[in-house]
A = this chain, B = another copy of it.
Amino acid sequence: MSEIAKTPEPPYYAVIFTSLRTEGDNGYSEMAERMVKFASQQPGFLGVESAKESVGITVSYWSDLESIKTWKQNAEHLIAQKQGREAWYKEFKIRISKVERDYGFAQN
């Protein structure tokens, strides 16, 4: 996930997931990779950006709220969510937002 997501013209949705992890990996890395792979295959998925220092921030982009809801209820994802609460995260916050406007810059 080393790129800026190539999203379409707004409006679309962004799920901003900010987290503080517990110590150790505890199977997190493998599951995180699986979840990004699965999410990317879901209808309505537009892209994802992720970085972690003291907090981890993952922003996933979606075409509509229904796609976000469907992904939230995906069976594999529900298992990951459970492990997240039990083992991986000290704290997290999820914000569902509607992107109304975007602009960018790229060096020539």
Which residues of chain A have a CB within 8 Å of any CB of chain B? 1-5, 7, 10, 14, 16, 18-20, 22, 49-57, 59, 84-85, 89-107
What residue in chain B is nearest A13 (Cβ atoms)?
A: B97
Least Cβ distance of A86 to chain B in Å?
A: 10
Least Cβ distance of A21 to chain B in Å?
A: 11
> Which among B54, B57, B85, B102 is the interface contact of A95 at CB below 8 angstroms?
B102
Q: Quick check: A99 and B90 within 8 Å, CB to CB? A: no
Q: Quick check: A97 and B99 within 8 Å, CB to CB? A: yes
A61 and B99 alpha carbons, distance in the complex (Å): 13
Residues in chain B near residue A49, CB distance under 8 A: 18, 55, 57
A96 and B12 alpha carbons, distance in the complex (Å): 11
The 8 closest A-B pairs by CB, nearest first: A2-B54, A97-B97, A51-B51, A93-B104, A95-B102, A97-B99, A51-B53, A96-B101
Q: Quick check: B97 and A100 within 8 Å, CB to CB? A: yes
